[in-house]
Amino acid sequence: MNTTETKSSFQDKLDQDLCIEPKDTMPDEYRKHLIRQISQHAHSEVIGMQPEGNWITRAPSLRAKQILLAKIQDEGGHGLYLYSTAETLGISREEMIEQLHTGKAKYSNIFNYPALTWADIGAIGWLVDGAAIVNQVSLQKTSYGPYARAMVRICKEESFHQRQGYEIMTNMMKGTKEQQEMAQDAMNRWWWPSLMMFGPHDSDSPHSGNAFVWKIKRKSNDELRQRFIDKTVQQAETIGLTIPDSDLKWNETKNCYDHGEINWEEFRRVVNGNGPCNKQRMTHHIKVHNEGAWVREAAAAYAKANAK
Ligand code: 3HC
């Protein structure tokens, strides 16, 4: 099929809102865009296991420990779905991991902040997974079939993650003064980095143009950020938490909240490797990846020995 034919059948499917499937012909730029986004999404899921994993031995009850263990296992599973989705586009797992370890590939800014108290585990579940849900619900309609289907499955588990985080924050706000202060401190530290998760403003987003043309994105960074803010402010007020933004104000005309300016200098600093935990996260991932080499080798040897 020549390039023109490739592009027209691809465009026909997009125009009919049909999913593009792995065996379909697709422009190289579309494939590369998806590999970039999906592999970084997968990296985020796996690196995101670290801040929460640090609290498994310190969970305040057996129930809390069970819930946290289940959540972290879910995140690992989300990473595997997404690595497998990216592999359908022709990149190997090894290549993706090498891109992560060499800094060629990113992962979400949010996982470069430390989880300092148990309230952080609540804030991560409620705010980080809450933001992820807003983004991922929109991605359920993305044009690449395997990615859209992975999102449907992931979103079901994310809603449990968000609810358990909100339950932790709710219980702490019903607790002692010290617990309330701990919850507010976590709110203060996680609110703005959670807004940054949605990416730069639309006007500063180099990929959004193509992402919309190819129906990879259905809603813009700013639209999804706004949706998250409008939903979360009410949840915070219900349990007595204060949003750390003195410019936050309901805008009757726009029917949404106006908010203060995001610190994009901090975003760039963290995304470029200079956040509080970037080095720790990567050192740990490289260490554990190397320690797990024998598992991968054994699984590959078993598969080879049992290949029909
Ligand atoms: N952290 C790190 N880098 C970010 C970022 C963030 N929060 N937001 C944007 N960027 C990067 C982009 O990757 C791109 O850099 P690149 O060219 O090196 O890839 C650059 O900033 C410009 O951003 P754009 O908005 O132009 O890029 P996109 O069109 O790709 O939009 C996105 C960014 C909205 C994050 C989009 O990639 C996306 O929707 N990704 C899928 C969702 C995802 O990755 N979520 C991460 C969190 S997963 C999670 O929270 C798991 C939960 O279970 C806890």
> For atom 52 of ligand 1, which residue has the closest CA?
129
Among residues of the chain, what percentage have pLDDT more than 70?
97
User: Which tokens sit at 305?
Assistant: 């020995």
Residue 31 is classified by DSSP as: H
State the average pLDDT over residues 161-180: 98
Q: What is the pLDDT of residue 2?
A: 60
Mutate to test the pocket of ligand 1, among 30, 127, 207, 278 (most ligand atoms within 8 A of CB): 207
Q: Largest Cα–Cα distance in the chain?
A: 69
Distance CA 206, CA 57 (A): 42
User: Which tokens sit at 22?
Assistant: 């792995």
Distance of CA 243 from the midpoint of ligand 1 (Å): 24
Distance CA 85, CA 104 (A): 19
Q: Which residues pair with 257 in a beta bridge?
A: 250
Distance of CA 130 from the midpoint of ligand 1 (Å): 15
| CB distance 162 to ligand 1 below 6 Å | no
Q: Is the pLDDT confidence value at 1 over 60?
A: no
| CB distance 171 to ligand 1 below 6 Å | no
State the average pLDDT over residues 46-75: 98
State the average pLDDT over residues 220-229: 98
| CB distance 269 to ligand 1 below 6 Å | no
Q: Is the pLDDT confidence value at 260 over 90?
A: yes
Distance CA 7, CA 53 (A): 45
Q: Is the pLDDT confidence value at 6 over 80?
A: no
Does pTM surpass 0.75?
A: yes
Distance of CA 199 from the midpoint of ligand 1 (Å): 6
Instruction: pLDDT band for 5, please (50, 70, 90 cuts).
Output: low
Q: What is the pLDDT of residue 7?
A: 62
pLDDT, tens digit, 9 for 90 and up, residues 103-161: 999 999 999 999 999 999 999 999 999 999 999 999 999 999 999 999 999 999 999 99
Q: What is the pLDDT of residue 240?
A: 98
With beta carbons less than 8 A apart as the criterion, state whether 134 and 162 touch: no
With beta carbons less than 8 A apart as the criterion, state whether 31 and 155 touch: no
Mean pLDDT score across all residues of the chain: 96
Q: What is the pLDDT of residue 4?
A: 60
Q: Is the pLDDT confidence value at 170 over 60?
A: yes
Q: What is the pLDDT of residue 102?
A: 97
State the average pLDDT over residues 35-64: 98
Q: What is the pLDDT of residue 101?
A: 98
| CB distance 205 to ligand 1 below 6 Å | yes
Q: Is the pLDDT confidence value at 52 over 60?
A: yes
Distance of CA 220 from the midpoint of ligand 1 (Å): 12
Q: What is the pLDDT of residue 308?
A: 76
> For atom 36 of ligand 1, which residue has the closest CA?
37
Distance CA 71, CA 98 (A): 26
| CB distance 68 to ligand 1 below 6 Å | no
> For atom 50 of ligand 1, which residue has the closest CA?
132
- Residue 223 has, within 13 A of its CA and on its CB side, a CA count of 8
| CB distance 134 to ligand 1 below 6 Å | no
Distance CA 308, CA 295 (A): 22
Q: Is the pLDDT confidence value at 8 over 90?
A: no
